[in-house]
Amino acid sequence: MTIPTPARSESGPLGLDLNDRPVRGSDILFLQQWFGLTLTETCYMLGLSLPKWQACIQHPDEPVNDPTVALLVWLLATYPETRFLPQFPEPAEVLPQYLATAQQSTKTLGDVRRTRFGKTAFGLLLGREITSSNRWMSEHHPRQPSPQVHRLLFVFRNLLLTHGVPGFDTWVERVEQEATARGLKLSTRMTSWSRMLAASAAQPARERRRSRKKPKPEESAG
């Protein structure tokens, strides 16, 4: 998630003309859409509670009641250097660093086949599916990762940059532990966290049904 920083124009860098009018509720919505923020992220950026955000949005043409919020919106809209939200990287920005580090690591996917970590395991290491990386980096219709994954990408990239192969190995061990706790095994056969979780939850039930003893006629009669 990269915050856009277009060239500054007379009407402000966002094309938001705030020169001759106060900041209104609709400007908050404009900032949210322009930066591609979720509701939680917008509230964090402006320090608003959800009810206060709603109050602003419900009166889009009225000046924002709190002067602090109004001044903050004006600053963020007018001066890009005042924007303080972290810029989370896209998957394509982290993938090369991940692949380079994984090549140097002795860690493999599973003990039997000992497959090296590649692009398909990228999604699994971020708590998602093996197909996620293709979706995120699709040429035609790339899908945005969830906010959690965006943050995880930030942390993962910085971990690889600062801790290198030992950091990568620790990460893989942690993923293995979290997978084991969910009844999964990080291997080439693992394709997803959620689907396998549902499957592994359903499996004991089937086994229980199979091993259930049928009451004998004489027992039930007795």
Question: Cα 177 to chain center, whole Å?
Answer: 20
CB of 216 to another protein, least distance (A): 40
In 3D, which of 183, 164, 163, 172 has the Cα closest to residue 126?
172
Among 158, 164, 165, 169, binds another protein (CB under 8 A): 158
Residue 75's contacts (CB-CB under 8 Å, 6 or more residues apart) are: 82
Choose between 82 and 139: whose C-beta lies nearer to another protein.
82
Choose between 72 and 95: whose C-beta lies nearer to another protein.
72
Among 84, 139, 206, 213, binds another protein (CB under 8 A): 84
Residue 147's contacts (CB-CB under 8 Å, 6 or more residues apart) are: 38, 40, 41
Among 71, 112, 198, 199, binds another protein (CB under 8 A): 71
Angle at 160 between CA 156 and CA 164, to 5 degrees: 150
Q: How far is CA 26 from CA 39, 42, 58, 70, 178, in A?
A: 14, 13, 9, 12, 43
Using the contact rule CB under 8 A, the part of the chain among 91-99, 133-141, 173-181, 202-210 near another protein is 173-181
Joined together, the tokens standing for residue 22 give 């106060």
Within residues 91-130, the interface with another protein by CB under 8 A covers 126-128
Which residues contact another protein by CB under 8 A? 22-23, 39-41, 43-50, 63, 66-72, 74-76, 78-79, 81-86, 88, 126-128, 146-152, 154-156, 158-159, 162-163, 167, 170-171, 174-175, 177-179, 181-182, 193
